[in-house]
Amino acid sequence: MKKVSVGDMVTRRSYGQDIVFYVRRILGTDPPIAQLIGVNVRLFADSPLDDLIVLDYRTKASGSSGLKSIISQIMLQRTKPIPQQNYRLEVVKSDYVPVPGKVLHVDGEEHYLNQCLALYRNLNVPVIGLHIPEAEQPKKIRQVLEKYQPDILVITGHDGLLRKQSNRDFLINYRSSQYFVETVKQARLYDSNRDGLAIIAGACQSHFESLIEAGANFASAPERVMIHCYDPVFVAEKLAYTPFTQVVNLPELFYTTISGKDGIGGIETRGKLRQGFPRIESWLPTESYT
């Protein structure tokens, strides 16, 4: 059996190798315990070393083709011809420039944040990313909103039911849902209009109902499932590139996420895309903003 080291990609025997993790650190307990972070799923876990299977490079690399396919579909949808009466603004080679909504992505996990920022850049969504631990998010969100003034706010990180048999109705039984709920409430004190500041909140197994009641437009997870770390990005991208004259198509939106309607739900919300005129090279969507 290969020795487990920090940075290795691993799966857990006892869970049927269902999720791929990387080893963040190894605690010198007796027996030693590995602290794990899901590679694509927003999950933090502990595991004995003898329960871990170290993956080789080929196994680690698999799965990237699925993401590339999703990105290709999004870019194709954005550039294909649109009937004139729909007033969609994705038409390329016109005199207009698309001005997508600006995203502020606040993440409790730096590993996921960096992956998400790379995807935003791939999708040409203007974004600022901040690593703020979940417990600190309610205290800091008003300050960063006033500084960056985004159109779309993403609040995410780690979450999950603390025990398998926990009552899912109570926030106290979740790792971070209570922090996400309070952060949404603070953000709504900054802007109470759901068509002003659009909020996407939650992570794996988060308390969906409480997040929506607190003021989120979209949240995880209606069926308390694990969500993919990219799911909030795909929702933000759809908001950023839907014209402000239109309401986001909810079934279409959830079809473009990886976890689907079991993982992400929400309410009718207007898009954030506006058109500018005339089209000049210095006025095009950028990967970040200040």
Give residue limits of the domains in the chain. 9-60, 64-276
Position 189 scores a pLDDT of 97
Architecture of domain 64-276: 3-Layer(aba) Sandwich (3.40)
Which residues face 155 on adjacent strands?
106, 201
Position 7 scores a pLDDT of 83
Tens-level pLDDT at each residue, the chain (290 residues):
578 888 888 888 888 888 888 788 888 888 888 988 787 777 778 888 888 888 875 445 444 555 666 666 666 655 544 444 444 444 444 677 889 999 999 999 998 999 999 999 999 999 999 999 999 999 999 999 999 999 999 999 999 998 877 788 999 999 999 999 999 999 999 999 999 999 999 999 999 999 999 999 999 999 999 999 999 999 999 999 999 999 999 988 888 888 899 999 999 999 999 988 877 776 665 556 64
Which residue's entry shows tokens 């170290």?
Answer: 54
Q: How far apart are CA 54 and CA 221, in angstroms?
A: 30
Is the Cβ–Cβ distance between 20 and 229 less than 8 Å? no
CA dihedral 254, 195, 239, 285 (to 10 degrees): -170
What is the pTM assigned to this prediction?
Answer: 0.79
> DSSP state, 283?
S
How crowded is residue 276: how many other Cβ atoms within 10 Å of its Cβ? Answer: 14
Which residue's entry shows tokens 């998010």?
Answer: 137
103-107 vs 152-156, strand pairing mode:
parallel
Position 141 scores a pLDDT of 98
Position 84 scores a pLDDT of 41
Q: How far apart are CA 233 and CA 241, in angstroms?
A: 12
Position 82 scores a pLDDT of 40
Q: DSSP 3-state helix, strand, coil percentages of the chain (rounded to 5)? A: 35, 20, 45
Position 57 scores a pLDDT of 53
28 Cβ neighbours under 8 A, 6+ residues apart: none
Alpha helices in 175-248 (DSSP H): 177-190, 208-214, 231-240
> DSSP state, 52?
E
